[in-house]
Structure 1
Amino acid sequence: MSFVTGLFLIDAPASALNNLGSVPGARTDNTVGVKVIRAKDGVYPYVSAQAFRYWLRTTLESSDLGWKAAPIYREEKVAYTDANPIRWWDDDLFGYMRAPSKRTSAVEKRSADESRAEETPTTDTVTRISPLRVSTLVSIAPVTLTEDFGTMSRHEGDPVPHEHQFYRTTLKGLFSLDLGACGTFSYQRRTGFRNLDEERVKEAQQKSLIHLEDRKSYRLLFDERVKRIGTLFEGFAMLEGGAKQTLHYTDVAPVLAIMAVTKGGNHVFGHVIGASGRGLPEFKIDAFKEALDVFQDEILSDIYIGWVKGYLEDERKKVETFITENGAHNIRICHPRDAFRAMAEQLRKPENQKWLE
């Protein structure tokens, strides 16, 4: 199995990207706090994987990249997508779970809803494990939270006080994309593996998907699979989202990313970037060299380092010197957007089709 394994940094100079609601015991009743991990060595702000995936989905949906997002349906206290990975790219790459209620009232309500005219019929539970895995985005070092005090005072009478927390840090996240699972849909009767029910199997046959009979799966054609993957990477490169953008306007597009195609899903670059003694991002050359040595047989592609010029210039020079001194022609350093595009271009090459098997 082959994966695109990657690490990325988000620069958060004064930010509150993922909030938790009111803070008990705060000076004002409407103080908004940020999500943090409290450890023995301090407080680490974080962005949940769910929030990050939401940013990525909405970025893709609002872009002009041609992303095909699944419609969402609401049924009392349950909401779900169309759960059809053949038609919808996010159902393919982000996964789903759908277990329609068989109660008479629920069936009748669905039938009477005209907005569901194009819905894929579903008579049984279908689930799909997401080929895209992402970590929680965590501050590389503990920080001291800042509490900002403000008032609403554009009215007669006493001003209304309010507060919110924010921080200055660098957030580190990991991702892994299972290339074999992208565009490959199982009809095995196992939880998490039954991506297609009878209706969806019929659609796969009608659209002439490749039948992998020994694996009880159907697969999209190669060109369609890499088109979806390439568009996903475009979304990574132009990522938008986050809370408190009106007040803090944080660019959440990665300022630094490292990625390569690897064997297996273990992360080979997870410890390459950490914090210095001053709590600032540091590219750990020794850790990087060790990863290259230990995993040399498991790194299948060139290594792409996307790095915005002007960000951590001294650290970038260290990496450029390492590449030059070691003649590491398989390590390419460029802007993050170009790095994601270059990775997508590698996947499109016919000679690399084996990575998607």
Structure 2
Amino acid sequence: MKAAVLGAYGAVGRRLAVEAATLGHAVTAVGRDGTRLSGVPAHDHLRLSMTDLAGVRRMAAAHDVVVNATGVEDSQLALASTEGGAAFMDISAERDYLGELSRLAPARPIAAGIGLAPGLTNLLAVAASGEGPLHIGIVAGIGEPHGDAARAWVWSVSGRQVTSGGTKQRVYRTARRFDVPGLGRRTLLRAGFGEQDQLATSLDRPVSTWLGFDPAWATALLAVAGIAPGAAAYLDRLSGPAATLLAQRDRWTVVVSDATSTRAWATGRREVDATATVAALCLERLATAPPGVYAADELARLDDLREGLSRAGIEVATNPSITENWKDPR
């Protein structure tokens, strides 16, 4: 296929261009900065502003799928791409934006939130058996050089109100304990990732997301931001030197639990790599799906991606593993 990666010189975009090419796709690196763009390994390079919607339509007409890795959350970008004839994938985790995408009626398929979280988290949650509330815990290694947009989003949602299962909570103000493989018992804080809304609909059970850092003491920075959202920008800057000093702490872990036990989990190195891997593995599934808006669990199941995840060094486990009646949208 021909895949265009918007924001291809960013942390995730660059890695995604490599992953997509490894899978045999012809990749066009797209972005505003021609100098930075030229350094991205890709089949072609296109200098284009995301505000040039006419240019986006023309670009999309020459590609099978367009991936937005810019951090720009604008549904008009999705519509311009699909109107041009390409499928559209966005790696955003912002629940309001993903909700906006879900209400579109596009001419081509759209994937809303494909990466580590949302994305792999959706697949793990669907693979987890049981009933009642489901809790998704994410432990991020503070030593990873996260993309600017992703890092900014983590701090910008501090103190925001989220609702799950009829319960209203503030981001980073409520704590929950998780059994995290390799790390033991960890306290994680209420988060606001977009998959909690997607999964509450598809699974018909309350779903909440929780976030913490490794090492554990760094999670306290999120707790302070939850209480004093105005300090979030300062705490973001403070976490930078810590990340430099702890450069080897780049392992992430996702845990899916119900009221009694851990039901599924995954772990690997570098979140940006995991996001790029999951997105690349879903490209062809998205491009061949009927028009509509899809969450990750509506495009694939965990077993569909297991081999590709393993090649990327991502370990996954479910306890127990289940197979559901599910029809591939293609």
Q: TM-score, normalised by structure 1?
A: 0.24
The structure whose Rg is larger is: 1
Which structure is higher in strand share? 1
Q: TM-score, normalised by structure 2?
A: 0.26
Higher relative contact order (CA 8 A, sep 6+): 1
Which structure is higher in helix share? 2
